[in-house]
């Protein structure tokens, strides 16, 4: 019996990765005199993943990766004006409005009467708190957690903190790596909502799911219907 439903935020409740795609395209055009835009974006992708261990997730980390990429692809010739333009892109990302996915408010309102809802998002604390604050949906959640990484240990810690049995917990998100697999591994349940703009780093090897089962739906509006087949 599910009692608590956890929701990922970025690209599950609201659009996020599209901002990164736009920034990458801008960086490619900006540095096109040094290298082909496609090569620049590929270099940025590699740098961004490598830098997670140093800076974590979020726009500030992404900005440092853009600057590092600019230095590398230009052979150190990137100008102060170009660095300033990168910073301008980052500030625009950090001040972008939060655009909810279709059906989010109606779904949360429908579920909040029967389940305790939890928001679990990873990334920069300041950045995530801002998005949560201006999203207009924070009042639906009984619990809100911002973590540096979503892993088996972080989920165990959160559920333990609120005395939530993993068997009674369902996680909903667009990332197989962060929202589905670690929850299944600790004995919880998961619903996967694919998003065409999901960051490639959030994918997972299908072989890792050989011993687990999870549900996939097309959009969040289908979640209440899925849950009607389960006891409240």
Output DSSP code: residue 222: G
Enumerate the β-bridge partners of residue 213. none
**CATH class assigned to 17-94:** mainly alpha
Rounded to 5°, angle at Cα 18 from 17 and 24 = 90
What's the pTM?
0.91
Quick one: tokens of 134?
Answer: 């201006």
For residues 115 and 226, give the distance between their C-alpha atoms in angstroms, rounded to a whole number.
14
Quick one: tokens of 194?
Answer: 């694919």
Which parts of the chain have pLDDT scores under 50?
Answer: 231-232
For residues 197 and 70, give the distance between their C-alpha atoms in angstroms, rounded to a whole number.
24
Residue 21: Cβ within 10 Å count? 12
Q: What confidence tens digit (pLDDT) does each residue in 50-71 have?
A: 999 999 999 999 999 999 999 9
pLDDT of residue 196: 76
Rounded to 5°, angle at Cα 60 from 57 and 61 = 45
Q: In the CATH scheme, what is the code of domain 4-15+99-227?
A: 3.40.50.1000
Output DSSP code: residue 180: I
List the chain domain ranges. 4-15+99-227, 17-94
For residues 101 and 15, give the distance between their C-alpha atoms in angstroms, rounded to a whole number.
7
Q: Which helix (H) or strand (E) holds 105?
A: helix 104-111
């Amino acid at each position: 019996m599910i009692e608590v439903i956890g929701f990922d935020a970025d690209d599950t409740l609201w659009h996020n990765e599209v901002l990164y795609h736009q920034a990458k395209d801008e960086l490619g055009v900006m540095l096109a005199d040094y290298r082909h835009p496609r090569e620049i974006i590929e270099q940025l992708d590699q740098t961004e993943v490598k830098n997670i261990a140093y800076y974590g997730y979020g726009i500030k980390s992404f900005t440092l990766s853009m600057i590092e990429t600019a230095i590398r692809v230009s052979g150190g010739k990137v100008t102060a004006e170009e660095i300033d333009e990168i910073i301008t892109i980052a500030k625009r990302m950090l001040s972008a409005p939060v655009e909810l996915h279709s059906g989010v408010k109606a779904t949360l309102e429908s579920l909040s009467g029967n389940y305790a809802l939890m928001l679990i998002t990873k990334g920069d604390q300041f950045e995530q708190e801002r998005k949560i604050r201006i999203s207009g949906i924070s009042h639906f959640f009984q619990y809100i957690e911002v973590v540096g990484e979503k892993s088996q240990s972080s989920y165990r810690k959160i559920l333990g903190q609120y005395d939530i049995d993993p068997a009674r917990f369902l996680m909903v998100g667009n990332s197989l790596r962060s929202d589905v697999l670690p929850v299944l591994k600790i004995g919880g349940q998961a619903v996967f909502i694919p998003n065409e703009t999901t960051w490639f780093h959030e994918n997972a090897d299908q072989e890792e799911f050989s011993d687990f089962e999870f549900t996939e739906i097309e959009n969040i509006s289908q979640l209440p219907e899925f849950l009607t087949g389960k006891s409240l």
